[in-house]
Chain A
Amino acid sequence: MAELILIIVSAVFINNFVVVQFLGICPFLGVSKDMKSALGMGLAVTFVMAITCLITYPIYTLILVPLGIEFLEIIVFIFIIAAIVQMIEMALKKFSPTLYNAMGIYLPLITTNCAVLGVAELVIDEAQMIGLLGITSMNLGYAVLYGLFAGLGFTLAIVVMSGLRERVAKLPIAKPLKGFPIAMICACFIAMAFYVFALI
């Protein structure tokens, strides 16, 4: 139980994927203009990240490591992610059209989201995960939990960002700062807010 709380606090706040580790910045800046689409994107990414960890972690530990072909991890992972995204899209279309309408348009973008490949690469690095989470050894359960809560951390950051941008859009802004620069200054303030957790 204590470990669960540790993983939640670490993944969502202290090592927030977007503003601390800089993973998944493209959707963070691109799909954060209104809150509804930000929430949709965040939940879609969370879903894909959890399932990716569930599949890539056993494939790495049970297939790639025993065969001694760890160097193929990048190629294997990117294909697994592409396949997962494609399958989720097809499954959603068939079984849950309402969910598909809410998440569908964001799914193809997720394949090239570095947060997903990033989490797959992170959870197989046992030494780093032990340092991050303060656990004694890595297993599949921790990997999936970390993927899930890292995704929720992403969702939190992107939703906060969209709320901020909705307000900033109404302000008069100097011409050179319009667009990306002002979005990044918003992100700068969110990063400062999350920085507080690293001080604890």
Chain B
Amino acid sequence: MKTNFKKIAVDGVVKQNPTLKLVLGTCPTLALTTLAMNGIGMGLAVTFVLICSNVLVSLLRKAIPSQVRIPAFVLIIATFVTIVRLVLEKFMPDLYDSLGLYLPLIVVNCVILARAESFASKNPVLASAADGLFMGLGFTVALTLMGAVREILGAGAIFGVKLWDFQIAFFASSAGAFFTYAIFIAIFCLIENIISKNKKRKEFALATAYTSSNTEVK
């Protein structure tokens, strides 16, 4: 069976984007996007756990009985989260402090369990690893973009570099988190609608051209 890596990549980053399309893993998304750097840190931590758990779940997919699969997946995920936590605590204490409570909470991030359940437990190892990588990338990109918007508007800075003194405190507050997320989903949905409409129009134009050429032949 040949794996369609291009489809996995497009699905993970755009079509099935975990943050903007599936709206999974909302807690860290809302809490940590005050700074763009936090978005990258959280995104990469989740990506690492996602790849590792997808690979292990995929390797064990025939060994785990389906009745106990959820506790088994949770155990696998919790193990990798513990590894990430210990590594960050030792080597990147600043990032560890800014992620704080949300680092252990990666265990209950629905993106990871959802991919283990719906993809890794049914697909071979390489495809599962690719799925983890691209889903994680989609998550990271969305978090970083939101973090950048909120940091520019709320703190007048980007990646900690000060741009100007103008700042809107609303975007740094928790209400601003919900608002920014809502606007991001709405824009994503709008773009998706426009693209699908254009596609339909093109198909329609092709179909009419085809039928008219047929009638000319007759």
Complex Cα–Cα for A19 and B177 (A): 10
Interface centre among B79, B110, B178 (most CB of A within 10 A): B178
Q: Does B179 lie within 8 Å of A188, measured CB to CB?
A: yes
Complex Cα–Cα for A121 and B26 (A): 19
Those 3 A-B pairs whose CB atoms lie nearest each other, nearest first? A184-B182, A188-B178, A191-B175
B64 at the interface (CB under 8 A from A): no
Q: Does B26 lie within 8 Å of A188, measured CB to CB?
A: no
Given contacts A22-B31, A112-B108, A122-B101, contact A74 B81 (CB under 8 A): yes
Complex Cα–Cα for A114 and B175 (A): 20
Smallest distance from the beta carbon of A14 to chain B beta carbons, Å? 12
> Per a CB cutoff under 8 Å, which of B31, B113, B173, B178 touches A112?
B113
Given contacts A22-B177, A188-B175, A195-B175, contact A114 B74 (CB under 8 A): no
Q: How many residue pairs bridge A and B at CB < 8 Å?
A: 109
| Chain A residue at smallest Cβ distance from B173 | A195
Excluding A74-B78, A74-B107, A185-B182, 12 further A-B contacts by CB distance (< 8 Å) are A25-B30, A26-B27, A73-B104, A82-B74, A114-B27, A118-B105, A176-B193, A185-B179, A191-B173, A191-B174, A191-B175, A195-B175
Residues on A with C-beta less than 8 A from B75 are: 75, 79
| Chain A residue at smallest Cβ distance from B184 | A181
Residues on A with C-beta less than 8 A from B86 are: 71
B71 at the interface (CB under 8 A from A): yes
**Mask for A160-200, Cβ within 8 A of B = 1, else 0?**
00000000000000011100111011011101101100000
| Chain A residue at smallest Cβ distance from B23 | A180
Given contacts A21-B31, A177-B182, contact A117 B108 (CB under 8 A): yes
Complex Cα–Cα for A194 and B28 (A): 20
B186 at the interface (CB under 8 A from A): yes
> Per a CB cutoff under 8 Å, which of A19, A75, A112, A122 touches B174?
A19
- Grouping DSSP codes into helix (H, G, I), strand (E, B) and loop, the A interface class, with mixed when no group exceeds half, is helix
B82 at the interface (CB under 8 A from A): yes
Q: Does B78 lie within 8 Å of A24, measured CB to CB?
A: no
Residues of chain A at the chain B interface (Cβ within 8 Å): 19-26, 29, 71-75, 78-79, 82, 112-114, 117-118, 121-122, 175-177, 180-182, 184-185, 187-189, 191-192, 194-195
Residues on A with C-beta less than 8 A from B27 are: 22-26, 114
Q: Does B182 lie within 8 Å of A74, measured CB to CB?
A: no
| Chain A residue at smallest Cβ distance from B175 | A191
Smallest distance from the beta carbon of B111 to chain A beta carbons, Å? 11
Residues on B with C-beta less than 8 A from A79 are: 71, 75
Residues of chain B at the chain A interface (Cβ within 8 Å): 23, 26-28, 30-31, 71, 74-75, 78-79, 81-82, 85-86, 101, 104-105, 107-110, 113, 173-179, 181-183, 185-187, 189-190, 193
Complex Cα–Cα for A112 and B28 (A): 14
Given contacts A75-B78, A176-B189, A176-B193, contact A114 B178 (CB under 8 A): no
Residues on B with C-beta less than 8 A from A113 are: 108
Smallest distance from the beta carbon of A56 to chain B beta carbons, Å? 12
Q: Does B178 lie within 8 Å of A177, measured CB to CB?
A: no
Residues on B with C-beta less than 8 A from A176 are: 186-187, 189-190, 193
Q: Does B182 lie within 8 Å of A180, measured CB to CB?
A: yes
Complex Cα–Cα for A22 and B26 (A): 8
